[in-house]
């Protein structure tokens, strides 16, 4: 078993999942302003440190994705943030893309940037304690999109990124996110996501990426958020499993879904059904941002000094997600 495979399995095994706390300062500022909390670096640290020192870090969270600002910060205990995360048994990770820009040649679409100077930045992050990384490609759906150009160029970037990350002995999270925005059907999402994932693996293989040492972070197969053709959670699970079984090579150790704008409960229920019906060899878990943090953030905004209260809300959500990652969640547990 390679070292990279061991890291991936340590992050994903036993119902553990990933806390995606890698919102850029711009995104975090929007989240904090929405709840009327000033977005200072102290407040961003306070909220994140509150999560990273909660009890569920030991039992539920296998890895935490950080943003550049956070990986360099020091917690109130004088531990660095990566040390704080490691002390609970979780692995620190880092978002290394530098965000999305308009895709030249298809200006309605986006391309993710950050390859220039990446090798040097990776070495720095490794010294800070990171052992895995994230890069997100984003695709919108309509009858014209995603275009072949967007599918090919994002897959190429994800593969170049992954090869560099493995060269630096870290596990790349490969995140091709087909967005939920729009009025497309779940079948459209299935078709486009299949095409996107298939191309990503073609490029990963071309760049000699060791597939046993990556984590795939895809979207679930959902109808567009403006679609009237609603499908059930059972159908979401069925289509998601079919898409991954058909397009992901079997030596990939695990899949950690993004929540992508689903509510906390939807993201938990869908993951639970995916695991109850999992007919693949892949570990299926979560790498949630909003679906792990939303309630905790809301509570915290009204009780900024109440660390324990905030942690209680976060622990509950993490526990529910970890049960779902084992197919053991039920809606009654939400109110217990």
Residues marked active site are found at 217
SS3 275: helix
Q: By CB under 6 A, is residue 290 in contact with ligand 13P? A: yes
- Nearest CA to 41 out of 64, 49, 315 is that of 49
Tell me which of 125, 201, 288, 300 binds ligand 13P, using CB under 6 A.
288
- Nearest CA to 19 out of 322, 332, 333, 282 is that of 322
The answer to whether the beta carbons of residues 109 and 145 sit under 8 Å apart is yes
Q: By CB under 6 A, is residue 291 in contact with ligand 13P? A: yes
At its nearest, how many Å lie between ligand 13P and the CB of residue 194?
20
At its nearest, how many Å lie between ligand 13P and the CB of residue 176?
11
Q: Buried b vs exposed e over 42-69: b needs ≥16 C-beta within 10 Å?
A: eebbbbbbbbbbbebbeebbbbbbbbbb
How far is 271 from 117, CA to CA, in rounded Å?
Answer: 36
- Residue with smaller CB distance to ligand 13P, 136 or 184: 136
Q: By CB under 6 A, is residue 61 in contact with ligand 13P? A: no
Tokens 């119902």 found at: 15
Tell me which of 20, 64, 165, 196 binds ligand 13P, using CB under 6 A.
20
Q: Of the ranges 112-120, 200-208, 283-291, 324-332, which one interacts with ligand 13P (CB under 6 A)?
A: 283-291
Q: By CB under 6 A, is residue 11 in contact with ligand 13P? A: no
At its nearest, how many Å lie between ligand 13P and the CB of residue 289?
3
Peptide bond connecting 146 to the previous residue in cis, omega within 30 degrees of 0: yes
At its nearest, how many Å lie between ligand 13P and the CB of residue 144?
24
- Residue with smaller CB distance to ligand 13P, 92 or 289: 289
Q: Of the ranges 43-51, 225-233, 255-263, 299-307, which one interacts with ligand 13P (CB under 6 A)?
A: 255-263
Total residues at interface with ligand 13P (CB under 6 A) = 10
Q: By CB under 6 A, is residue 54 in contact with ligand 13P? A: no
- Residue with smaller CB distance to ligand 13P, 78 or 295: 295
The answer to whether the beta carbons of residues 325 and 307 sit under 8 Å apart is no
How far is 206 from 78, CA to CA, in rounded Å?
Answer: 44
Q: By CB under 6 A, is residue 10 in contact with ligand 13P? A: no
Q: By CB under 6 A, is residue 16 in contact with ligand 13P? A: no
Q: By CB under 6 A, is residue 189 in contact with ligand 13P? A: no
Q: By CB under 6 A, is residue 92 in contact with ligand 13P? A: no
Provide Rg for the chain, Cα atoms: 19
Tell me which of 260, 269, 274, 315 binds ligand 13P, using CB under 6 A.
260
Residue 33 CA: distances (Å) to CA of 26, 29, 143, 174, 298:
11, 6, 35, 30, 12
Q: Of the ranges 197-205, 244-252, 282-290, 310-318, which one interacts with ligand 13P (CB under 6 A)?
A: 282-290
Residue 324 CA: distances (Å) to CA of 104, 163, 278, 328:
40, 32, 12, 6
Q: By CB under 6 A, is residue 296 in contact with ligand 13P? A: no
Q: By CB under 6 A, is residue 239 in contact with ligand 13P? A: no
- Nearest CA to 11 out of 173, 165, 155 is that of 173
Contacts to ligand 13P by CB under 6 A: 20, 136, 175, 258-260, 288-291
């Amino acid at each position: 078993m390679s070292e990279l495979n061991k890291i991936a399995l340590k992050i994903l095994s036993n119902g553990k999942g990933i806390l995606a706390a890698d919102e850029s300062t711009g995104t975090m500022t929007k989240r904090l302003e929405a709840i009327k909390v000033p977005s200072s670096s102290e407040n961003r640290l306070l909220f994140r440190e509150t999560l990273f020192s909660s009890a569920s870090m030991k039992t539920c969270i296998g890895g935490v994705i950080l943003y550049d600002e956070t990986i360099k910060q020091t917690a109130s205990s004088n531990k660095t943030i990566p040390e704080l995360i490691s002390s609970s048994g979780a692995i620190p990770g880092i978002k290394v893309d530098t965000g999305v820009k308009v895709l030249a040649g298809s200006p309605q679409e986006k391309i993710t940037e950050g390859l220039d100077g990446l090798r040097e930045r990776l070495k720095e992050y490794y010294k800070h304690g990171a052992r895995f990384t994230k890069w997100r490609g984003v695709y919108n759906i309509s009858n014209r999109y995603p275009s072949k150009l967007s599918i090919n160029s994002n897959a190429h970037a994800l593969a170049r990124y992954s090869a560099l990350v493995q060269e630096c002995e870290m596990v790349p999270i490969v995140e091709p996110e087909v967005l939920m925005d729009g009025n497309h059907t779940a079948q459209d999402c299935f078709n486009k996501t299949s095409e996107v994932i298939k191309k990503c693996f073609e490029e990963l293989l071309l760049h000699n990426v060791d597939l046993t040492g990556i984590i795939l972070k895809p979207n679930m197969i959902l109808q567009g958020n403006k679609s009237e053709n609603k499908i059930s959670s059972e159908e979401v699970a069925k289509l998601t499993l079919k898409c991954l079984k058909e397009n992901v090579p079997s030596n990939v150790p695990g899949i950690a879904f993004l929540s992508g704008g689903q509510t906390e409960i939807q993201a938990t229920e869908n993951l639970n059904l995916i695991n109850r019906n999992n007919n693949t060899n892949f570990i299926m878990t979560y790498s949630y941002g909003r679906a792990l943090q939303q309630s905790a953030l809301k509570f915290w905004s009204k009780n900024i000094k109440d660390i324990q209260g905030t942690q209680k809300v976060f622990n509950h959500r993490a526990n529910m997600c970890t049960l779902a990652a084992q197919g053991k969640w039920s809606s009654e547990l939400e109110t217990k």
